[in-house]
Amino acid sequence: MTAALTTRSLRAKSMSARLRPFLLGIVSVVLLAGVWELYKLLGPADGFSIGELRVLPRTTDLAMPHVWDMLERLGGPLTGASTAIPLWLAVLKAAGISLGIAAIGWSIGLVVGFVLAVLMQRFRIAESAVLPLVILSQTVPLIALAPVVRVWGSRLEFGAFEWESWMSVAVIASYLAFFPIAVGALRGLQSPDVIHEELMTSYAAGWWKTLIHLRLPASVPYLLPALSLGAANAVIGTVVAEVSTGLSGGIGRMILDFSNFASSDPAKPWAPIFGAILLGLVAAGLVSLLGLALGRYRRAEVNR
Amino acid sequence: MSTFAVEVTGVSRVFQGKKSTVTALDGIDLTIEAGEFVSLIGPSGCGKSTLLRLIADLDQPTAGDIQVFGTPAAKARAAQKYGIAFQQAGLLPWRTVAGNIALPLELHGVDKTARRARVAELIDLVGLGDFATSYPDQLSGGMQQRVAIARSLAEKPELLLMDEPFGALDEMTRERMQAELLRIAAESGAAVVFVTHSIPEAVFLSDRVVVMSPRPGRITGIVPVKLARDLTSDADALREDTAFFAAVTAVREELHGVPTVERARGVDLR
């Protein structure tokens, strides 16, 4: 999304200009497929190694299936059973489950990140105390975190509420998502010009009114990229956490399961990988829809 | 006894830096009558903006006392006794012209119908009737500044504080804005404290021009201006009047430190 897009009225844009990003996207996918096939055609069958280290992959059908084989496999059945659903449908279903979990994780991350940012903006001392912890939190390896969250979660009990394993995954996803949101929102909340802050002071507007009328709207241009980053992180967090907590149904587990077919059905493991890519694209797309809805608050980008 | 719009008594402001201290203002005494138009003029660093900020309670004096309509500056700010406009228009980019003008009214809980009526009135006053739904980035600098002035007038303040509001405008826009400001100030009956670099601007607008000198910021003289100003008079004719030139000369001599006797004669020339 470019700044130029917001200056002109979105409705006034011609159809071709709107289709442009999609067309460019398709062209880039076709190019990528071309590069893949070209390398497969011309590259050395055993790849290229420097000493022990293989710097270029093998070009065998096992390591790099043809693009059309992978696509054809997507159309084929999930298993050999006669009742099996097509592979693409299974992948879509798994991706849908992961998307739901990632969305919940992203929402939790949004709330937590935003509350932290508001606290840090309000209290200078909170900024110096919390910000290093926030940064430190991201250095904890996800793989180490997953079992801890699962164990802690399973001990939670209030009334009829029962901790389910997908919740662990959502929490881990939110753990990755909140970081860019907290940092971006803090920058945004601190972004108003001195002149605007003094204007609010001259209106005898307190902290709360200044937050609502000045800081929140001013934070939007900083917040939107942070929300996209948060969405990408939530998707990665979900996929990785599904693997490390062993949650079935999602795309992460599917990647793990299908990797067993690497030698017998080499095109199959690529299907959930495409699913994961699609998942990331859809998540990023949803967030940019949010950007369209908040277009009015992005005028600041144009003005500066 | 009538209450003054602004009463500054023995005010000084010292900025304590890490390495050095800067006396921005020293021993300032100034009273401004209700409805009076007073300009503060002087070279950069003479503390004219600082003085304005002190009156607005955006900054506090190191010593001395500032009363606005008989109450301390802080109380006057809380009670919204003044409207303020800065060198930059300082409009919120995500609000339309109407939304920007309505901002102070919204913040102070004026209900929607009253707000709409007042905003419409102000948009007419500054001549932006066709631009109510435009966003700031669609306006020229002069138009943005007009919006800022309309916003400063939103709550019908009896005191307007303006810090070089026309500083960034081109000469032609500037002269037109000056004439409009005079009309608006006369119509609203508000006192105006106007900070400027420009001698002709100060003379054209003011009843009194307060001349300041830097390091430390002090008031070196106050030049009364008496132009044959009434609402029907032509602004251009006024600018070519001998009284105008006489006052310009008087302010210039005050700024450059010419002896008192000659200065007095300069004023009498009119």
Contacts of B136 in chain A (CB under 8 A): 299, 303
Strand A157-158 vs strand A161-162: parallel, antiparallel, or unpaired? Answer: antiparallel
Name the more confident of B27 and B257.
B27
Q: Considering only CB atoms, which chain A residues are within 8 Å of B94?
A: 217, 220, 296-297, 299-300
Residue A167 in tokens: 């919740």
More confident residue, B257 or A11: B257
Q: Residues 6 or more apart from B155 whose CB is under 8 A from it?
A: B80, B83, B104, B105, B108
Q: Which residue has the higher pLDDT, A187 or B236?
A: A187
Tell me whether residues B103 and A203 touch, CB distance under 8 A.
yes
CA distance B216 to B47: 8
Give the model's pLDDT for residue B124. 84
For residue A78, the model assigns a pLDDT of 75
User: CA torsion sign, A51 to A52 to A55 to A56?
Assistant: positive
CATH architecture, domain defined by A83-303: Orthogonal Bundle (1.10)
pLDDT in tens, A124-162: 887 888 888 888 888 887 777 878 888 887 777 777 777
Q: What are phi and psi of B211, to 5 degrees?
A: -100, 130
Nearest-angstrom CA–CA distance, B7 and B5: 7
How do residues A51-62 score in pLDDT, each as one tens digit? 777 777 777 777
Q: Do B107 and A203 touch (CB under 8 A)?
A: yes
| pLDDT band at A24; cut points 50, 70, 90 | confident
Q: Mean pLDDT of all residues in chain B? A: 82
Nearest chain A Cα distance for residue B69, angstroms: 16
- pLDDT above 60 for A4: no
pLDDT digits (tens, 9 = 90+) for B101-114: 999 988 888 888 88
Q: A155-167: per-residue pLDDT in tens?
A: 777 777 777 788 8
pLDDT over 60 at B119, yes or no: yes
pLDDT of residue B87: 85
Q: Give the per-residue pLDDT at A1.
A: 43
Kindly calculate the radius of gyration of chain B based on its CA atoms and give it in whole angstroms.
Answer: 19
Beta carbons of B77 and A199 less than 8 Å apart: no
Which has more confidence, B239 or A268? A268
Per-residue confidence (pLDDT) for residue A104, from 0 to 100: 93
Measured over all CA atoms, what is the biggest interatomic distance in chain A, rounded to whole angstroms?
75
Q: How far is B25 from chain A (nearest CA, A)?
A: 21
Residue with tokens 């929607």: B112
CB spacing of B90 vs A199 below 8 angstroms: yes
- pLDDT for B232 beyond 70: no
Find the helix or strand (DSSP H, E) in which B172 lies: helix B171-188
CA distance A170 to A107: 10
Which helix or strand (DSSP H or E) is residue A231 part of?
A: helix A216-245
Task: Convert the pLDDT of each residue in A74-117 to its tens digit.
Answer: 877 777 776 778 888 888 888 899 999 999 999 999 999 999 99
Interface size, chain A vs chain B, as Cβ–Cβ contacts under 8 Å: 53
How high is the pLDDT of residue B195? Answer: 92
Confidence (pLDDT) at A2: 45
- The mean predicted confidence, pLDDT, of chain A is 82
For the stretch A86-92, contacts whose Cβ atoms lie closer than 8 Å and that sit 24 or more positions apart, written own/partner, are: A87/A268, A87/A271, A88/A271, A90/A254, A91/A251, A91/A254, A91/A271, A91/A272, A91/A274, A91/A275, A92/A275
Least confident of A219-233, B138-152, B246-260: B246-260
Mutate which: B135, B137, B145, vs A, most A CBs within 10 A: B137
pLDDT of residue B62: 86
User: Among partner residues B78, B94, B137, which is closest to A204 by beta-carbon distance?
Assistant: B78
All residues of chain A having their beta carbon less than 8 Å from the beta carbon of residue B90 are 193, 195-196, 199
Averaged pLDDT for residues A8-18: 58
**Tokens (6 digits) for A59:** 């070009």
Q: What is the pLDDT of residues B193-210, one digit of tens each?
A: 999 888 888 888 888 888
**Model pLDDT, residue B8:** 82
CA distance B135 to chain A (A): 9
Best A193, A203, A215 member to test B by mutation, with max B CBs in 10 Å, is A203
Q: Do A204 and B82 touch (CB under 8 A)?
A: no
At A15 the pLDDT is 65
Cβ of B137 within 8 Å of Cβ of A299? The answer is yes
Both tokens assigned to A281: 């694209």
Question: pLDDT band for position B263 (50/70/90)?
Answer: very low
Read off the pLDDT of residues B157-172 as tens digits, 9 standing for 90 and up: 888 899 888 887 788 8
Best to test chain A binding among B49, B94, B95 (most A CBs inside 10 Å)? B94
User: Considering only CB atoms, which chain A residues are within 8 Å of B104?
Assistant: 203
Confidence of residue A71 (pLDDT cuts 50, 70, 90): confident
Chain A residues with a Cβ under 8 Å from any Cβ in chain B: 7, 193, 195-196, 198-205, 209, 213-214, 217, 220, 296-297, 299-300, 302-303
Taking Cα atoms as reference points, which of A191, A218, A201, A215 lies closest to residue B84? A201
Rounded-to-10 torsion of CA A153, A154, A156, A157:
150
CB A105: neighbour CB atoms within 10 A? Answer: 29
Q: How far is A214 from chain B (nearest CA, A)?
A: 8
Q: Given this model, what pLDDT does residue A111 score?
A: 94
Which of B58, B86, B106 is nearest residue A201 as measured by Cβ atoms? B58
Q: Residue A115 has what pLDDT?
A: 92
Nearest to A296 among B94, B107, B108 (CB): B94
Angstrom CA distances, A94 to A99, A246, A258, A272, A281, stand at: 9, 14, 13, 8, 15
Q: Do A204 and B77 touch (CB under 8 A)?
A: yes
Nearest to B107 among A7, A205, A296 (CB): A205
Contacting residues of B for A4, CB less than 8 Å apart: none
- Choose, out of A191, A210, A299, A304, the residue to mutate when testing the contact with B (most B CBs < 10 Å): A299
Contact A302 B77 (CB under 8 A): no
B262 against B40, higher pLDDT: B40
- Preceding peptide of B43 cis, ω within 30°: no
Nearest to B94 among A7, A209, A299 (CB): A299
* pLDDT the model gives residue A106: 93
CB contact under 8 Å between A7 and B137, yes or no, is: yes
Q: Which residue of A has its CA nearest to B161?
A: A202
| pLDDT recorded at residue A204 | 85
pLDDT at residue A246 in the model: 78
Tokens for B58, please give them: 């955006």
pLDDT in tens, A206-220: 889 899 899 999 898
Residue whose tokens read 């309000």: A122
The complex scores an ipTM of 0.81
Distance in Å, alpha carbon of A195 to nearest chain B alpha carbon: 6
- pLDDT interval class at B270 (50, 70, 90): very low
Between A288 and A304, residue with greater pLDDT? A288
> Quick check: A299 and B136 CB within 8 A?
yes
Nearest CA in chain A to B99: A213
8 Å CB contact of B90 and A196: yes
